[in-house]
Structure 1
Amino acid sequence: MGPAGDGHRRGAAQLHDLRVADPVRREHDHLVALIECGGQRVEKAFSETDQTDDLKAITVPVLVLQGDDDQVVPYKNAAILQDKLLQNSTLKIYAGYPHGMHTTHADVINEDILAFITV
């Protein structure tokens, strides 16, 4: 898998600095996730955990961001559903952005986050 989680796809963006750092970062993230999930496989913990009630209980403003080219977590199965369950959410879907959009498009994502939290 590539730097944005989508790098295995033909034509996916390949950023040199991310390719170099990605294996170390991915291993670190995997270890942290395993510890936080009590040793369970991360994929199993995410796919088998129903977060519906938790999302419905959140009352503070929430910014939901996702790329429509996310090959790891399809936005129709994630961001769209989260937005429907949250009481006070703002949904922003980015055309053509991958799973790792916070890294590959940090300038745009950071600007949108700052605009949301300074309202």
Structure 2
Amino acid sequence: RVSFTGGNFFTDDLPQADVLLFGHILHDWDLETKLMLLRKAYAALPPGGAVVVYDSIIDDERKKNAFGLLMSLNMLIETPGGFDYTGADCMGWMRQVGFQECCVEHLVGPDSMVIGIK
């Protein structure tokens, strides 16, 4: 079952769920905010729950995903601190806030997802 919950992820707790999805969200924010959102996800998930971060993830070598690299430049220009990131970056942040198992799965085009399991 899928449900959507409205709210402000800055001021509200995230809803309790087995899976939380951040679709094209993290790249808008600075590192401190990225970590805050991942901490909130960790707090809302039960053991074995997952957070899925879906974005234009830059390849770890920063050579292949031209779209992701250009989006990162765009975020730096248009936002106070937003930036795109590599799968390794995101997995590191997930581990930093407590997620135990993390992996990156390429989807289609420039998009990938990073999955963290509590």
Verify same fold: TM over 0.5.
no
Instruction: Please say which structure displays the higher CA radius of gyration.
Output: 1
Q: If the length of structure 1 is used for normalisation, what is the TM-score?
A: 0.29
Q: If the length of structure 2 is used for normalisation, what is the TM-score?
A: 0.29
**Structure with more helix by fraction:** 1
